[in-house]
Copies of this chain bind each other. A is one copy, B any other.
Amino acid sequence: MSGWLAIAGLGPGDAALVTPEVQAALDAATDVIGYIPYVARVAPRPGLTLHPSDNRVEMDRARHALELAQGGARVVVVSSGDPGVFAMAAAVFEALEDAPAWQSLDIRVLPGITAMLAAAARAGAPLGHDFCAINLSDNLKPWDLIERRLRLAAEADFAMAFYNPRSKSRPQGFQRALEILRDACGPERLITFARAVSTPDERLTTVTLAEASPEMADMRTVVLVGNSTTRRVGRFVYSPRCVEAGGAG
């Protein structure tokens, strides 16, 4: 019996945003591994073992998945959104680095609709020009690096998407991020708080940086900041495709 491991993205929440490729992997799996709320999105069935685990045990989870696949299981590691964007794919490759014997396993990464693109779609097209994605959690990197990236991203006039805007371990971090952005981008820059997009808890709010406050975000929120040309049209927010010479920055 030949095992395999698929590291799959479930999208932001709505089943209509799960790709057929990911659904086919789930349908063929013997084992599904992941963070509790993501595993809860997979329908139980005979022959499928669900392995929900708590947050912050990514490396244990990755090793468990590799062990099961090595033993012949058909394993899907599930992430919300896309597995390659601040999610489980990097953790699995980290585990693989420590265990060369597993490197010949059949391992595939199956992309999904990542939170920032689901949020951008709902808002309009705020990421319609060059942009960056930054994880604002300082669990895995020093806060100084986050601050430096924010300043450089503003200087580059990138639109920005922030994952994990409010880190439990550093509740003041997002307030500091907003201060840096106000300083670097000015008070009129548009910022969108997109919470739980495509779920019943969805809430979208667009304000200026002057009006933004830290409690507008929580752990289920993705934050989008426009570039210098991002503007409203009707109920939408978008970044024009075109930038004139000398027009940005």
Contacts and interface: CB of A to CB of B under 8 A. Distances in A.
B121 A111 contact: yes
Nearest to A98: B233
Given A84-B117, A156-B152, A233-B103, A241 B90 contact: yes
A238 B246 CA distance: 36
Given A124-B93, A133-B131, A142 B243 contact: yes
Interface stretch (A19-27, A43-51, A169-177, A205-213): A19-27
Interface residues of A, number: 81
Contacts of A153: 132, 152, 156
Interface in A114-149: 114, 117-118, 120-122, 124-135, 140-142, 144-145, 148-149
Contacts of A185: none
Contacts of A58: 241
A190 interface: no
Contacts of A111: 17, 113, 117-118, 120-121
B103 A124 contact: no
A181 to B, nearest CB: 15
B110 A121 contact: yes
A184 B2 CA distance: 44
Contact of A103 (B94, B96, B114, B234): B234
A172 to B, nearest CB: 18
A68 interface: no
Nearest to A158: B132
Interface stretch (A8-16, A30-38, A215-223): A8-16
Nearest to A104: B234
A85 interface: yes
A155 interface: yes
Contacts of A235: 103
Contacts of A80: none
Contacts of A14: 21
A239 interface: yes
B142 A124 contact: no
Contact of A121 (B84, B135, B239, B243): B84
